Amino acid sequence: MDRLRLTKRGLLRRLVQLNACLAILPLAVHAQQETTESEDIEEVVVTGSFIRNSAFAQNSPVDTVSQSDLFESGAPSMSNYIRDMTYTQNTDVVSNVLATQDGSQDSVGASFNLRGLGENSTLTLVDGIRTIAASVSTSVPEIAIERLELVLDGGSALYGSDAVAGVVNIIPMKEFEGFRTRTFYQRTQDGAMEDMNLSAMWGKSFDNDVSYVGAFEARTKTPLMQYERPREWMMDDGSSVSGSPGTWRQNVGADPNINLYQSHGGTLEGSLLVDPACGTFNDGYPGHGQGKFPTPSGVPVGSFCRFEYTSMFAYSAESTDYNAYNTLTWEASDWLRFNATLNNAYRVSSLRTTSTTAVNGNNRAALIVRADHPANPWGFDVSPYTWRPIAHSYTHLPQHLDPGDGAREYEFHTSVNRLKVGAEYDISDSWVGYTYYSKQEMKSMSDSYSVHLGKLQLALEGQGGPNGNEYWNPFGTSDPRHPNFDPALGNSEELTNWIFERDANFVTSRDYLDIFETVATGDVVDLWAGTVQMALGYQWRDLEENNYANPFDAAGWDYNTVIGAPLPKDERFFSETRAIFAEFQIPLLETVDLQVAGRHEEFTDFGLETTTPKVALRWEALPSLAVRASWGESFLAPTPSQARPFVQGENCGEIFDGQDPFTGQQLTGGAQCSSGNPALGPETSEIRNFGFTWEPSGQLDGLSLSMDYQEIEYTDRIRSLTEEDTVAFQFQQFVAETGVSAGSYDPTPGSATRQQADAWLRQYSQNPSAPVVRDEDGNVQFVYRQDTNISSVWVDLFDVKARYTLNTNDWGTFAATLQSTYYETYEYEGLFGGRQPALGLQNADTGIVPPLPQYKANLRVNWFRDNQSASIAVNYWDNVEFDAVAIDRYGDGWTAPDTIEGEARTDVRYAIILDDYLNSEFTVSVGVNNIFNERPQQLPISGGFESRLSTPWGRQFWMSVEWLPGF
């Protein structure tokens, strides 16, 4: 049952909570990333603690990325920067339609994925506040980012749910005087892809103790189509058995009447019938992976006509981002400070996909071509088995398709709005408090075209078009390039446009997040070794998720809405959370202090509550050497939409990839559907960390060395099974229940083991909630996917960061920074039990872990002299073992390699500051990313290379100009 966002009773409850919190303000503080000064030492709050301290190294492993690190990298966006961090894996930068492990790969909206444990396992904060949108492109304009702070040993004890792998805090600038603007332009060597960015920041500190900072950023990225990278495309299995021309079967016993939006009532019998037009007009066109317009009439392969769709897809999607940031700070008195921050982000993503989808469940159940259809080549009733209405057709492409490659372009619009108001105040000489309220909204809209199922049914019966008297020809003879083309069999422009409906600027979802938090920190008691400090706080969060059904879908008119399944409807989900948390910093000796933290969190709408502790110890063994150790637990609660009820046939789409172990056939041709799971529980992790930071003086002055050893045990992970995982699990059930050996199983029809499997599947299909639905021949029709607590992961690793700065008299200053992560262990337990090794493997056949190089490192050398600087950076990842199934649809001779060779990409940069030019300061930077033009290793898999490790951009040139006016 829906609940109002704020009833009178709810308002009263909030007021009671607010007053209770204000009553304990002398015992509470917020984690502010600000610097305060005492008489002789500087006390700083760093992400990972609510308590100020003056230590040069923290109790937990914390990495900091400065504004200059982002700028000097030459990365066109933060998404590209974080992909190369040694402790991140599987960051969504390259689009790959078939690779869905650990989230989609659409190159839009990348977020942090620490340790490859999942993007949802890293809590992203903006100015210390959790954000409704984890995408880094919607945080704040990059010109206004002061630094990033990353806690690498979990953080639920302080920050709550989602901080399983760690915490990232994006800290914006709060003070700035003047005006600064920056332009950035980058393009690939061949000009196929461009990145452009214009940003500005302005600020002023007024005499009345008011400070203001504003910033704006506009960024646009052009698409990189797959046909623009023929080297990678050459080995890509970008094809489907569902095309036009397609494959058909005889329909027996169908209702002679038209059953709009319902089943035709017949059964499909006999062998597969390949459209006779398949492969008949490919002469003069390039072959697989060799050009923009390949194989327009498909390629006959076995009992199917394969449709190559990769010319319609992009390796990098087109997108435009706008981001505005405004913050106002008022020093009301010497003990009270107010702050208000407003952040607004808007993104338009122009994605590309096939001209039409292939919803084979509807094709087989609802569509029929009668024997008397003028284009029917067989003379009896047939229904499409693997087919889509339009592929590479010349027959009057609909007006919304790209005339160049036939791609269907559709837009996603995403807006994120955040408002935060807060106050920081001195409670006493040793106590400070902070209270804030944040209101956030994220809205998504879609603008696309869909096939109207009812109109398509009518058109196949000769009742289509504006006048209701036209036939839709679903066969290859509709194309003028067919050798026996008859204009009477062509599909008119009016008919083609008529069968499509536009979903213009439809709001698909709208989410709200409200947060109230109050915290205070201060001294508690003096011990002989020092003062015990304490922080105590309360947080209330209210998340509302609204998913809206497209009216076109809700009426059952959409070709993509599975008939017989419940029609989609608007859904509303809630998650209210209340938490109390405390932290103590206890000096055990003058050089040893103990940090103890804990948080109790209640999810009132789930009936779920959990308490997470953390203990950390720091020993300053020398003035230049600090040793640390920490242990903590973290958790991740399911989202409201993940825990929604399961509805069979919900959110269905085409299966593009995978192999069925029962039949030995590809899963392409079936449909996959996803729904909720109300039985979900929280994910939990336990992290142990041991490390040190050494900053020596004397002859080694300028050296900073930090190393950490970490053990992670991550249990009950919520994963959405891939189609392959789901079908493979079904096969494992068959093996376990029948005693048939997987090694001796023969998928050939008629074999003893196949007959045994067919009998088992018939019994299995009696279960109405079975996750796999098959036809009478055993072929997969539907795979139902759910988020499930299905896996555990065990990780042991080393993080190392070293920096050395050398000052010379004549040659300037040199600084070298090395950062590396070495995994000693990375194992997982999935559906089939037992620990499975993941380290050094591609992990192609599981959605539980990504490709995992054992070693990943970054080395950067900077040079500074007067107003000039330069840098060279090398990013490296180690070999991984190739374990995917090599796919060679067309007999091109592709074979599986043993290893995916590691990559070392080198970037160079030079900058000069013109500080006395037109009464202004200009910083001009130029650079070349991937200067040696390293390209991904060609692999016979989806995408043509391992897109979760490599990028197909090649060499890129960039230039940036920053202007700081003299006024």
The answer on 313 and 265 residing in a single domain is: yes
Total number of domains in the chain: 3
What confidence tier does 36 reach under pLDDT thresholds 50, 70, 90?
very low
- What is the tens place of the pLDDT at every residue in 671-694? 778 788 888 888 899 999 999 999
How many alpha carbons fall within 13 Å on the CB side of residue 487? 1
Output 60 or 170, whichever has higher pLDDT: 170
- Evaluate whether residue 2 is within a structural domain: no
pLDDT surpassing 70 at residue 106: no
CA dist., res. 290 & res. 236, Å (int):
11
**What number of H helices and E strands is found in the chain?**
11, 43
pLDDT surpassing 80 at residue 475: yes
Contact 416, 382 (CB under 8 A): no
Contact 856, 880 (CB under 8 A): no
What confidence score (pLDDT) does residue 11 get? 38
pLDDT surpassing 90 at residue 180: yes
Output 448 or 542, whichever has higher pLDDT: 542
The answer on 961 and 821 residing in a single domain is: yes
Comparing 38-47, 316-325, 550-559, 821-830, which segment has the lowest mean pLDDT? 38-47
CA dist., res. 382 & res. 376, Å (int):
8
- Evaluate whether residue 644 is within a structural domain: no
Tokens for 13?
């409850």
- What is the tens place of the pLDDT at every residue in 612-658? 999 999 999 999 999 999 999 998 888 888 888 877 777 777 776 67
- What is the tens place of the pLDDT at every residue in 265-302? 999 999 999 999 999 999 988 877 777 778 899 999 88
Query: Which of 786, 804, 827 lies at the terminal end of a domain, its last residue?
Result: 786
pLDDT surpassing 90 at residue 138: no
The answer on 342 and 358 residing in a single domain is: no
Tokens for 730?
């079904």
What confidence score (pLDDT) does residue 97 get? 62
- What is the tens place of the pLDDT at every residue in 228-239? 998 988 888 788
What's the rounded mean pLDDT across residues 854-881?
A: 94
pTM of the model: 0.88
CA dist., res. 544 & res. 442, Å (int):
10
Strand-pair category, 122-126 with 166-172: parallel
Give CA separation, 824 vs 204, 877, 903, 924, in Å.
Answer: 50, 15, 20, 43
Query: Which of 505, 520, 545 lies at the terminal end of a domain, its last residue?
Result: 505
pLDDT surpassing 50 at residue 897: yes
Q: Is 504 exposed, middle or buried (0-12, 13-18, 19+ CB in 10 A)?
A: exposed
- Evaluate whether residue 645 is within a structural domain: no
Supply the DSSP symbol for 413. Answer: E
- Evaluate whether residue 3 is within a structural domain: no
What's the rounded mean pLDDT across residues 379-400?
A: 88
CA dist., res. 417 & res. 324, Å (int):
10
What's the rounded mean pLDDT across residues 817-827?
A: 96
Contact 80, 92 (CB under 8 A): no
Contact 357, 560 (CB under 8 A): yes
Average pLDDT, the chain: 87
What's the rounded mean pLDDT across residues 7-12?
A: 38
pLDDT surpassing 70 at residue 5: no
**Which residues, 6 or more positions from 639, have their beta carbon under 8 angstroms from its beta carbon?**
543, 545, 573, 575
- Evaluate whether residue 646 is within a structural domain: no
For 193, the domain range is 8-226+318-351+412-447+506-638+682-716+789-965
The answer on 722 and 701 residing in a single domain is: no
The answer on 822 and 745 residing in a single domain is: no
CA dist., res. 745 & res. 731, Å (int):
11
CA dist., res. 858 & res. 870, Å (int):
17
The answer on 288 and 387 residing in a single domain is: yes
What's the rounded mean pLDDT across residues 687-716?
A: 94
Query: Which of 743, 770, 786 lies at the terminal end of a domain, its last residue?
Result: 786
The answer on 557 and 613 residing in a single domain is: yes
The answer on 519 and 619 residing in a single domain is: yes
- What is the tens place of the pLDDT at every residue in 403-461? 878 888 888 899 999 999 999 999 999 999 999 999 999 999 998 888 999 999 999 99
Output 363 or 655, whichever has higher pLDDT: 363
What's the rounded mean pLDDT across residues 822-840?
A: 89
- Evaluate whether residue 269 is within a structural domain: yes
What confidence score (pLDDT) does residue 967 get? 56
The answer on 953 and 832 residing in a single domain is: yes
Instruction: Quote the percentage of the chain above a pLDDT of 90.
Output: 54
The answer on 357 and 274 residing in a single domain is: yes
- Evaluate whether residue 81 is within a structural domain: yes
Nearest to 825 by CA among 787, 789, 852, 790: 852
What's the rounded mean pLDDT across residues 353-358?
A: 86
The answer on 398 and 478 residing in a single domain is: yes
The answer on 141 and 30 residing in a single domain is: yes
What confidence score (pLDDT) does residue 32 get? 31
- Evaluate whether residue 551 is within a structural domain: yes
782 - beta bridge partners? 671, 773
What's the rounded mean pLDDT across residues 104-127?
A: 82
